[in-house]
Amino acid sequence: MPNPTQADLHVNVPLTNVSIAYIQKADAFIATKVFPKVAVNKQSDLYWKYSKSDWRRTDVQRRAPSTESPGVGWNVDTDSYFAHVYAVHKDIDDQLRANADSNFRLDRDATAFITNQLLLKRDIDFNATYFKSGVWGTDYTGVASGPTGNQFIQWNSATSDPIKQFADMQVAFIQSTGFKANTLVLGPLARNGLINHPGILDRIKYTQKGVITDDLIASLFDVERVLTSYATQAVGPQIADASAQDAAATYNFIGNPKSALLCYTPSSPGLLQPASGYTFTWNGYLAGNSQGIKVKNFRMEQIASDRVEAEMTYDMKLVGADLGVFLANAVA
């Protein structure tokens, strides 16, 4: 072999402008997009709940001369929240920092890693709290054929009619609550069932080159916005060998990818307005960033390390069960 060889002329080192990390974008997480965050000063407190029926009836009467007007009133109750504190940290050992090559930004990487962990945890809790049957005032279940009761034909079937289905649900929603449902949350497979449905494709074939967007779905179903829960999580044991760990892991969508949630949620919290859910965030303890996260960096001298720690506070609260409709197994 002629000398010098390629190995003699160049020693491989890691690139300083490229690295590979499977970091999910913050936009993939929907927990605080669906229900508004309520900033609170105390970890726990009460909030008022007015009776629905009192505000949906009238006791107005024709008044005769020299008689009193009818007296009216409303019932009021309280409910409570408790904003738990969630935290995680990554230690950066002095020896590792001193030996790290220039392409490593250990503090930046640690901050991104623990922030991703908190966002993932919050979306997991969101789906466990809200995105399932048995929570909301009305549940529907998709079936392949012969629907009865609160069942419907799954959207991947050409015999289904999701546009009429949502129109009927919207009328029933208004009748029950006095409000139009304004938000539709979809699992990724449920969304696929809609955007490939022949009836929907036929409706939009002359618009935007037949491309179905979330705005088009929203207009077809008479809601203000459509959100899809795309966040995923790894399932499997942690193993010291990274390649073995990745090979053993499976990756699933956090929520049920075949289901959907139709609900009413205000753009921001306020007095005397209904909401299906709120996320109470304890800002009195934790004045965090736009995601409600506070990151701290402090010295752990006893282990010769710098600690990067992040905290998040929330209580995901179902405040109006009748303001939500859950559709399980919307596709096969």
The tally of domains found in the chain comes to 1
Contact 276, 295 (CB under 8 A): no
Give domain status of residue 134, yes or no. yes
Instruction: Reply yes or no on whether the pLDDT at 9 is more than 60.
Output: no
Start-to-end CA distance of the chain, whole Å, equals 62
Give domain status of residue 13, yes or no. no
Token representation of residue 12: 């491989």
Domain that includes residue 180, residue range: 24-49+76-328
Contact 274, 320 (CB under 8 A): yes
Give domain status of residue 223, yes or no. yes
Give domain status of residue 309, yes or no. yes
Mean pLDDT of 158-165: 95
CA distance 217 to 163: 9
User: What pLDDT sits at residue 276?
Assistant: 93
Q: What is the pTM of this model?
A: 0.85
CATH code: domain of residue 108? 3.90.1690.10
Q: Scanning the structure block, which residue is given the tokens 């008022």?
A: 48
How many Cα atoms are found within 13 Å in the side-chain-facing hemisphere of 223? 26
CA distance 81 to 157: 42
Note the pLDDT tens digit of each residue in 121-132.
Answer: 999 999 999 999
Contact 135, 324 (CB under 8 A): yes
Give domain status of residue 16, yes or no. no
Give domain status of residue 68, yes or no. no
Q: What is the DSSP letter of 149?
A: T
pLDDT-based confidence at residue 289 (cuts at 50, 70, 90): low
Give domain status of residue 69, yes or no. no
pLDDT-based confidence at residue 16 (cuts at 50, 70, 90): very low
